[in-house]
């Protein structure tokens, strides 16, 4: 998700001229579409809540995917399908095949199966796990389609609407990876992900390396086998070493032990103990540096535990890469970023560029023009059970998504 660090920037005047020309040439059609988006925002928020209440835990997005397949068909998209990994794709052809824009949002949440996802409302505020990330992006995706269809806007290029799987956690961007490597290989000229809440633009891809570290031994009775090295003790040594890593504030570089598990009972020496670790940075060099420190620390923890007990039984450690997201940057003066800035200016939005780890990472790493945009409104508590969404003026997120898309594909 979006990193907190952002950069306030001035508007791109050249892009604004281009967008203004487009609006004037297409007027009143595009303006009517913008008005329609504002008019239907209560329906969009209702659909956002409906989407949120369809469970989509990691690797189990099928129920929500079926809803999107049905909605894509109802809204008139063509060649609607669920691909081999679970992405839902619908096509809206333009006069020509190029440019081809993928406009996407992700189906999955971070929450495990069985999480209560009923939405509660207080005024303009909605509360439920996943109400913003990414139920908002998904609702915006559908509202953009509705606006295009309602106003019968003909585009020069083609828009592919995609609800992706595997954006969160150990999904490792598997949905968008499949789009570029298989399902839409060679077709995509531009990529936009709508992810979360607010009105920011993500043009810098935060890379990440994720590992599962498992310390292993034979285990035994806590009294009878006392003196044998303990995988949980080794894990503790490893976590303590990670906690003392020194990383740069700029470029922002982070580390986190996210999950731990191990042991059989209170009176047993564990035979295994494991943890999952996440490291991130906008800089490939900084990420590589903390990664090297991490690997060194894991083997140092193992050696210390074995040496401390000096027992004939020795522990072993497995360090397995379970996720890898590339870093990259879309320059602030790149045409796709300028299109977003111009759309902001046309709508009276103060632009902010930032960094994050999203589906756009893959496109940016492949040299495809790509950004991630927020879906409007104000969200709090993402990835928590107390996640909220305030719908005040949230229609601006959908209006902006439409304008950026039309700036890229063109209007007849």
List the pLDDT tens digit at each of the 412 positions of the chain: 444 334 434 434 555 566 656 555 556 899 999 999 999 999 999 999 999 999 999 999 999 999 999 999 999 999 999 999 999 999 999 999 899 999 999 999 999 999 999 999 999 999 999 999 999 999 999 999 999 999 999 999 999 999 999 999 999 999 999 999 999 999 999 999 999 999 999 999 999 999 999 999 999 999 999 999 999 999 999 999 999 999 999 999 999 999 999 999 999 999 999 999 999 999 999 999 999 999 999 999 999 999 999 999 999 999 999 999 999 999 999 999 999 999 999 999 999 999 999 999 999 999 999 999 999 999 999 999 999 999 999 999 999 999 999 999 999 8
Same domain for 191 and 146 = yes
Residues 290 and 153 in one domain: no
Chain-centre distance for alpha carbon 29: 32
Q: Does residue 232 share a domain with residue 308?
A: yes
Two tokens at 91? 């096509």
What's residue 412's pLDDT?
87
Domain co-membership, 258 together with 343: no
**What's the first-to-final CA gap in the chain, in angstroms?**
35
Give the residue among 405, 326, 372, 362 at the shortest CA–CA distance from 185.
362
Whether residue 150 is found in the same domain as residue 29: yes
Let me know: does 216 contact 123? Beta carbons within 8 Å: no
Query: Does 127 lie in the same domain as 20?
Result: yes
Question: What does the alpha-carbon distance between residue 336 and residue 20 come to, in Å, rounded to a whole number?
Answer: 16
Q: Please, which residues have CB within 8 angstroms of residue 260's CB and are 6 or more apart in sequence?
A: 235, 239, 273, 274, 275, 276
Tokens standing for 101? 């824009």
Angle between helices 135-150 and 41-52 (to 10 degrees): 140
Q: Are residues 49 and 196 in the same domain?
A: yes
Instruction: Determine how β-strand 158-164 pairs with β-strand 100-106.
Output: parallel
Task: Supply the CATH number for residue 181's domain.
Answer: 3.40.630.10
Contact 192, 101 (CB under 8 A): yes
Alpha carbon of residue 148 to chain centroid: 25
pLDDT at 25: 58
Domain boundary among 305, 325, 345: 325
What's the DSSP call for residue 154? Answer: P
Residue with tokens 């020194």: 246
Cβ contacts of 25-29, under 8 Å, gap ≥ 24: 25/411, 26/153, 26/406, 26/411, 29/151, 29/152, 29/153, 29/411
CATH code of 302's domain = 3.30.70.360
Residues 99 and 248 in one domain: no
User: Do 304 and 341 fall within a single domain?
Assistant: no
Residues 201 and 239 in one domain: no
Strand duo 120-122 + 125-127: pairing: antiparallel
Query: Does residue 75 contact residue 161 with C-beta atoms inside 8 Å?
Result: no
Query: Where is the domain boundary, 301, 325, 349?
Result: 325
Please state whether 263 falls in left (phi above 0), alpha (psi between -120 and 50) or beta.
Answer: left
For residue 172, count CB atoms less than 10 angstroms from its CB and return exposed for 0-12, middle for 13-18, buried for 19 or more.
Answer: middle
Torsion of CA 287, 290, 291, 295, to 10 degrees: 180
Q: Mention every residue, 6+ apart, whose C-beta is less than 8 A from residue 111.
A: 57, 117, 129, 130, 385
In whole angstroms, give the CA distance from residue 51 to residue 55. 8
For 276, list phi and psi in degrees, rounded to 5: -115, 135
Helix 13-26 / helix 29-39 crossing angle, nearest 10 deg: 100
Say whether both 272 and 307 belong to one domain.
yes
- In three-state secondary structure terms, 188 is coil
Q: How far apart are CA 252 and CA 354, in angstroms?
A: 12
Could you say which of 299, 325, 351 is where a domain stops? 325
| Total domains present in the chain | 2
Q: Look at residue 10 in the predicted model and tell me its pLDDT.
A: 43
Whether 226 and 181 map to the same domain: the answer is no
Dist CA 388 CA 399 (whole Å): 22
* Residue ranges making up the domain that contains 260: 207-325
């Amino acid at each position: 998700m979006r990193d907190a660090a952002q950069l306030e920037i001035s508007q791109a005047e050249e892009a604004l001229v281009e967008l203004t020309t487009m609006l004037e040439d297409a007027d009143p059609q595009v303006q009517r579409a913008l008005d329609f988006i504002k008019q239907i925002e209560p329906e969009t928020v209702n659909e956002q809540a409906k989407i949120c209440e369809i469970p989509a835990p990691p690797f189990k997005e099928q129920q929500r995917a079926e809803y999107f397949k049905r909605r894509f068909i109802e809204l008139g998209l063509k060649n609607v399908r669920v691909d081999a990994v679970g992405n839902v794709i619908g096509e809206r052809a333009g006069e020509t095949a190029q440019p081809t824009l993928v406009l996407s949002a992700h189906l999955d949440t971070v929450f495990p199966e069985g999480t209560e996802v009923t939405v509660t409302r207080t005024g303009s505020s909605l509360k439920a796990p996943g109400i913003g990330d990414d139920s908002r992006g998904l609702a915006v995706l559908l509202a953009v389609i509705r606006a295009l269809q309602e106003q019968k806007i003909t585009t020069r290029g083609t828009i592919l609407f995609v609800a992706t799987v595997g954006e969160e956690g150990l999904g490792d961007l598997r949905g968008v990876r499949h789009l570029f490597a298989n399902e839409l290989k060679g077709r995509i000229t531009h990529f936009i992900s709508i992810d979360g809440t607010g009105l920011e633009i993500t043009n810098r891809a935060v890379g990440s390396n994720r590992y599962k570290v498992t310390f292993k031994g034979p285990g035994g009775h806590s009294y009878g086998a006392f003196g044998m090295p303990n995988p949980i003790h080794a894990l503790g040594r490893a976590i303590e070493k990670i906690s003392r890593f020194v990383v740069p504030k700029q470029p922002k570089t982070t580390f986190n032990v996210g999950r731990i598990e191990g042991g059989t009972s209170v009176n047993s020496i564990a035979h295994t103990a494991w943890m999952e670790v996440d490291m991130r940075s906008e800089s490939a060099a900084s990420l590589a540096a903390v990664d090297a420190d991490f690997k060194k620390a894991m083997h140092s923890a193992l050696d210390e535990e074995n040496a401390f007990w000096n027992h004939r039984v020795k522990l072993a450690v497995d360090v397995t890469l379970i996720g890898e997201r590339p870093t990259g940057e879309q320059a602030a003066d790149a045409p796709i970023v300028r299109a977003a800035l111009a759309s902001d200016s046309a709508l009276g939005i103060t632009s902010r560029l930032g960094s994050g780890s999203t589906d756009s990472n893959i496109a940016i790493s492949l040299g495809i023009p790509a950004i991630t945009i927020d879906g409007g409104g104000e969200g709090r508590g993402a990835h928590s059970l107390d996640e909220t969404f305030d719908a005040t003026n949230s229609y601006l997120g959908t209006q902006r998504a439409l304008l950026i898309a039309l700036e890229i594909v063109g209007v007849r």
